[in-house]
Amino acid sequence: MWNNLLGAIGLTLRTDKANYKVGDVPTFILQNGIPGDQIVWTSLKNGIRTGEYNSGYGSVIGANGAAELPASGPWTDADVGQWQKIATIINPDGSVADYASVSFSVSPATAPAPSPVGTTSGDFFSGNMTLPIIGTVSKPVGFAAIGLTIFGVSQLLGKRGR
């Protein structure tokens, strides 16, 4: 009796995320279908058909009226854009039972964070330093300024008492 009610509510399709990044593997979740019916897929990227049109991969609605289907692989750089996936449910006699669609986006993978200031590779004299009153200068100039300051102070203190 309950099997007769499955599919009467209306098929729903959702993804495990609304926004994917390159490298993520999506999962498509169908609910409220008729058990045993075949699932075929159509895809659009940025409003244009991708070539996947009513493509079947052997997936069917499960006994509980649902199907959780991971994609065959991760999103790539070529997949970046706005997507719409349409699941069409085909009855055993070949007629269309129902369909549902979901929209989502694929974004580039996050770029690695830049190195914090002062941790760049290079030798001891690479990079910059900040000095009071003077501000930010290259390390060689900063070390020279510190050396001259120390030399000047030692000269002033050294002349004392003579």
Contacts of 160 (CB under 8 A, 6+ apart): none
Determine whether 108 is exposed, middle or buried from the number of CB atoms within 10 Å of its CB (0-12, 13-18, 19+).
Answer: exposed
pLDDT, position 23: 95
pLDDT, position 119: 47
pLDDT, position 35: 93
Going from N- to C-terminal start, the domains of the chain cover 2-107, 128-158
pLDDT, position 4: 45
Given CA atoms 52, 58, 59, 60 in this order, what sign does their dihedral have? positive
Both tokens of 162, joined, read: 């003579």
CATH top-level class of 2-107: mainly beta
pLDDT averages per 10-residue partition of the chain, 162 residues: 52 95 96 94 96 93 94 94 95 90 93 54 64 71 70 62 46
Given CA atoms 115, 119, 120, 121 in this order, what sign does their dihedral have? negative
